[in-house]
């Protein structure tokens, strides 16, 4: 996980487990001169499915990413995997669109990471159902679109979708966006829409999780970064974090303490997603 | 929280919040020459209820604990609290009975703490619905009673109750006891029966929480130490802990990793209970 | 710790331990009608010093803060404490000045907390020895002063001191300011200058702690928020945090992961300082 | 990391990094029909050294472990590694000897793990420089040897070495053994002698780390599991853990709280060592 922004190809691949998969993929790469800088494997014992993520130095291969994809397709096919693979080129910066509401902590955090160069993404736009966070977004040089949700929600979502889709983003991040995505957008953005939920799921699904947590008297509160699916707060979990609370913490204190966990958990999950580390398998994730 | 086993009186007290409570209690103690070594306060803003725990050096008072109780009753009454208070004498060692089944990790851990003197309790008996843990218990010099649950459960619980109640214990610990306490025992041991549940409640209540956690694909698993109530896995929470898991962890790995959190969370919750640090308020706890 | 911004007086007090201190203070407050909303006590067994922090609702007292101070002085004196106490009025917003260099993560984080209202402070100015963070600071409406340190450091520090002291700040925060404060400023700002060091002190004092941590092969890295003293990286510790690293983490990864711990640990320590929760005792702190 | 005790061969290997290593090893295994159930890779960017750990199902290979070693030697040689590799057979239970003193928490913990089957090792003997922990060890059916250190230490260590070496153990665990191993034993047991130090190294090396931690006023205390080298408390770190403390914690409280971290950190490090997950590289470890 070096921070050097060397160009790399990230291969993620899944197929039914059997003998010789690693040898097949590694030999294919070795024959082309590919220098593997990261490699991770996992087999799910329940489903017998094999997963791998391989990162290859782009300059070690004598051809471009399209040719790599074309050649790898044959390898994948020979291992029984027609479509469960992907090769991404880190030379193409990751395009991201953020959806926000009024709460700014996740947005501020992500803007800071982008500004400091820590998160090297192409942040195309921020879309808010309130104008609240417009100024700070624009101060960072990022376009901000205000799409009010006070009228017809279907129309509002249509406008959001239009503003998002024109960027063909690698990630659509619901950074404390307080609206529930309609099923057709969950479908359209499957595997790309990432939400941060302010509880340690599956505890306290739905509205006002900190109020629920306070009422139950838990001693730790948490946050969950997950892919958005039509099943509310039930999508595949990418990352979770927790922080201690005690009897002195009113709901307002939980809200405050929880923010730190939310923003860090979201930033971590987003990074992993954009680095191609997260492979979805049913309703669970493999995070390499 | 010094480890010196000096004799102390532990006062826990609750009353409706108002001006002057601290002054009233502190003046009462000061007039008697009481040396306060620990003092903690809390007001629940929702209910307007005030809580305090005060620890006084026994040798600083010119009278015994019964006289302290008699005098304090007047103070409590003047503050509107007839019965929501207790004074415990650390000179009387805490009596504890453990209920176990086959899984030994919590028992081994508690026996080790007792043997090393870390947990200075009067461990009266261990009761198991299997014989599995009998030898190790007896090797520590603790009586072990095997009460089979293969026949009539009502009879078995009657025997358990008899074996427990003869010790009038300050704590009845369900140390991975796999039987559900009947309502009348929840009632009889209210505020004294402590359970360790192998999940981060309220997630994964009921049976096989690690299987549930694995199926949901969570990234942290946990354990919850709570008072037992007739409402299964829903009693007031004393303490919770978590540990990270990832996609490599099968259910068996979660079970193994979870044990460490279970035993530590239980030991911590039990210690706090026995030190009079846990005040129950509705379905929540104040832990001083 | 309610989030309601009710006006309060925060009393912090220390004196030699003896019987009756709590009674004396509590009675004084009760007689004036003072409504205590938070109270914490501690006695250091080594030095026999007693500490307390009491928070009183301003509207419960029939006089202003100056009168409270005048009256409390007598109480303090009667308990043997001429000067080891302070009464702060939360109605007077806390004035803060930040010192920064090029690394922006702590600054971004604090600006975000101020902008969202989470950290309700009067952020008077940001002073940088580089211009790097000027734009973002000004975008938040906060004055930014660039004081180059390329020439005579003594002159530069004189200018920094002038820019800081005109605000008479409650806290001077070295938010990854890469210059070592000269002894006379450590002295002048004693108990107010707060630093965030990017290691788990006392490990890896001095320069390039992440490089040191990497070379030693530690499995956790950390950050330490502490008061600045003339003894470099050795001042009283307010708060510390850690995060896991492994063999995959190069120094650059440690730097990146460490940022999250640095910014959160600093924000937490600063909040506690400004709320009057931190009492310094020798080279240690009591954090109520 | 399935808990199923299937027989496996664990290959750990290091060589100078270059293209084609994975392909070479994976092809070798695939040609023999080897079913890889775990595979992990790492390259140290500073030294350019490549590391891997591969776990193969024993029943997938048509020959025994000696033949596997013989054949693999050729692969290793072809990759420039004469001796930096090892193949272990999980069919041969790991032999372990424990060295203890008076403090029992780590011993109790390990005995409990062995008794419950969680730690499936061949615990050959416990050697104590005091008799204190003899009874509990024998109650678990494990031989206990008392070797007093009151006389000539050289003689005592000679006897310890004799008692240890007759078992040719995979691990010699200093489970809070309070004696410093002489250099010749550090040498003889290099890579097998594992210590638990009761501080977050490199903080507080040497004697009485909790006293040091208390004096410095840290807010977290820790424990470090590391290989023993002649350089006291400076050997390669396997695992570290921490726990929060505050101003209320006297040294005795730190000692008590620290025990839980010590025993868990040691158990984790020992497990990883015995599973062949820990590769030493200079003074650092790769933990797969």
pLDDT digits (tens, 9 = 90+) for A208-236: 999 999 999 999 999 999 999 999 999 99
Q: What number is the average pLDDT over the span D182-202?
A: 97
The residue of A22, A24, A57 whose CB has the most chain D CBs within 10 angstroms, and thus the best one to mutate to test that interface, is A22
Q: How many angstroms separate the first and last alpha carbons of chain D?
A: 11
Which residue in this structure is represented by tokens 């390039």? C208
Record the tokens describing residue A194, joined without a space.
């990432």
Show residues of chain A in contact with B284, CB under 8 Å: 216-217, 247
By C-alpha distance, which of C131, C254, C272 is closest to C198? C254
d(CA C218, CA D285): 9
d(CA C124, CA C136): 15
Chains that touch B (3 or more CB pairs under 8 A): A, C, D
How high is the mean pLDDT of chain C? 95
- Examine the pLDDT at C235 and tell me if it is beyond 50: yes
Which residue in this structure is represented by tokens 């956690």? B213
For residue B31, give every residue at least 6 positions away whose Cβ sits within 8 Å of its Cβ, in sequence order, or none: C23
- Examine the pLDDT at D53 and tell me if it is beyond 70: yes
d(CA C149, CA C146): 10
pLDDT digits (tens, 9 = 90+) for C187-233: 999 999 999 999 999 999 989 999 999 999 999 999 999 999 999 99
Contact C260 A267 (CB under 8 A): yes
The CB density around residue D63, as the number of other CB atoms within 10 Å, is 11
Show residues of chain D in contact with A30, CB under 8 Å: 19-20, 22-24
Contact B39 C38 (CB under 8 A): no
Question: What does the pLDDT read at residue A82?
Answer: 87
Instruction: Report the residue of chain A nearest C250, measured CA to CA.
Output: A2
How much is the CA Rg of chain A, to the nearest whole Å?
20
Question: What does the pLDDT read at residue C1?
Answer: 40
Domains of chain B as residue ranges with CATH: 8-89 (3.30.70.260), 95-287 (3.40.50.170)
- Examine the pLDDT at A2 and tell me if it is beyond 50: no
By C-alpha distance, which of B213, B209, B225, B222 is closest to B260? B222
Q: Give the start-end residues of each E strand in C24-111.
A: 36-44, 49-57, 85-89, 95-100
User: What is the ipTM for the molecules in this complex?
Assistant: 0.94
d(CA A262, CA C222): 20
C193-197 and C237-244 beta bridge pairing? unpaired
Show residues of chain C in contact with D242, CB under 8 Å: 220, 242
Question: What does the pLDDT read at residue B1?
Answer: 40
Contact C19 B26 (CB under 8 A): no
Q: What number is the average pLDDT over the span B11-37?
A: 95
For D55, phi then psi, to 5°, come to -115, 125
How high is the mean pLDDT of chain A? 95
SS3 state at A62: coil
d(CA D254, CA A31): 57
Show residues of chain D in contact with B264, CB under 8 Å: 260, 264
Question: What does the pLDDT read at residue D2?
Answer: 42
Minimal CA separation from A241 to chain D, in Å: 17
- Examine the pLDDT at A1 and tell me if it is beyond 50: no
By C-alpha distance, which of A121, A133, A59 is closest to A96? A121
Q: What number is the average pLDDT over the span C95-114?
A: 97
Chains that touch D (3 or more CB pairs under 8 A): A, B, C
Q: Which residue among B109, B155, B231, B233 is the active-site one?
A: B233
Q: Which residue among D233, D248, D253, D260 is the active-site one?
A: D233
Which residue in this structure is represented by tokens 């004189």? C158
pLDDT digits (tens, 9 = 90+) for A82-130: 889 999 999 999 999 999 999 999 999 999 999 999 999 999 999 999 9
Question: What does the pLDDT read at residue D82?
Answer: 87
User: D233 catalytic, yes or no?
Assistant: yes
Question: What does the pLDDT read at residue A5?
Answer: 67
d(CA D237, CA D225): 6
**Which residues of chain D are at the B interface, by a Cβ-Cβ cutoff of 8 Å?**
1-4, 103-105, 108-109, 111-113, 115-116, 118, 136, 139-140, 248-250, 252-253, 255-256, 259-260, 264, 267
B5: confidence class by pLDDT, cuts 50, 70, 90: low
- Examine the pLDDT at C3 and tell me if it is beyond 60: no
Q: Mean pLDDT lowest for which of A243-257, D1-15, D107-121, D209-223?
A: D1-15
By C-alpha distance, which of C183, C62, C58, C194 is closest to C121? C194
Q: What number is the average pLDDT over the span A59-70?
A: 96
pLDDT digits (tens, 9 = 90+) for D57-106: 999 999 999 999 999 999 999 999 988 999 999 999 999 999 999 999 99
How high is the mean pLDDT of chain D? 95
- Examine the pLDDT at B60 and tell me if it is beyond 50: yes
pLDDT digits (tens, 9 = 90+) for C115-142: 999 999 999 999 999 999 999 999 999 9
Nearest to A42 among B201, B237, B247 (CB): B247
Minimal CA separation from C99 to chain A, in Å: 17
Contact by Cβ (8 Å): D203, C202 = yes
pLDDT digits (tens, 9 = 90+) for B197-246: 999 999 999 899 999 999 999 999 999 999 999 999 999 999 999 999 99
pLDDT digits (tens, 9 = 90+) for B148-192: 999 999 999 999 999 999 999 999 999 999 999 999 999 999 999
- Examine the pLDDT at C2 and tell me if it is beyond 60: no
Chains that touch A (3 or more CB pairs under 8 A): B, C, D
Q: Which residue among A84, A109, A233, A249 is the active-site one?
A: A233
Minimal CA separation from B44 to chain C, in Å: 10
Contact by Cβ (8 Å): A195, A98 = no
């Amino acid at each position: 996980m070096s921070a050097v922004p060397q160009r790399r190809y990230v291969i993620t691949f899944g197929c039914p487990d059997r003998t010789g998969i690693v040898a097949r993929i590694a030999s294919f790469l070795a024959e082309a001169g590919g220098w593997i800088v990261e490699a991770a494997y996992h087999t799910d014992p329940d489903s017998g499915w094999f997963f791998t993520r391989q990162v290859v130095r782009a300059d070690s291969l004598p051809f471009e990413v399209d040719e790599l994809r074309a050649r790898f397709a044959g390898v994948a096919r020979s291992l029984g995997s027609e479509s469960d693979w992907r090769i991404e080129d880190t030379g193409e910066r990751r395009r991201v669109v953020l959806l926000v509401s009024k709460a700014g902590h996740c947005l501020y955090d992500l803007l800071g990471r982008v500004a400091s160069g820590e998160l090297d993404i192409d942040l195309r736009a921020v879309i808010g159902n309130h104008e609240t966070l417009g100024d700070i977004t624009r101060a960072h040089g990022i376009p901000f679109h205000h799409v009010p949700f006070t009228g017809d929600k279907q129309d509002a979502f249509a406008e959001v979708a239009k503003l998002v889709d024109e960027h063909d983003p690698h990630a659509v991040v619901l950074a404390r966006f307080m609206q529930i995505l309609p099923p057709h957008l969950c479908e359209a953005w499957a595997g790309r829409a990432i939400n941060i939920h302010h509880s340690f799921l599956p505890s306290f699904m739905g509205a006002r999780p900190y109020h629920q947590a306070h009422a139950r008297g838990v001693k730790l509160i948490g946050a969950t970064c997950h892919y958005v699916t039509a099943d509310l707060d039930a999508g595949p979990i990418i990352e979770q974090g927790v922080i201690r609370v005690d009897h002195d913490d009113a709901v307002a204190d939980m809200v405050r303490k929880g923010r730190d966990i939310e923003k860090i958990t979201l930033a971590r999950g987003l990074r992993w997603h954009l680095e191609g580390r997260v492979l979805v398998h049913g309703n669970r994730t493999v995070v390499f």
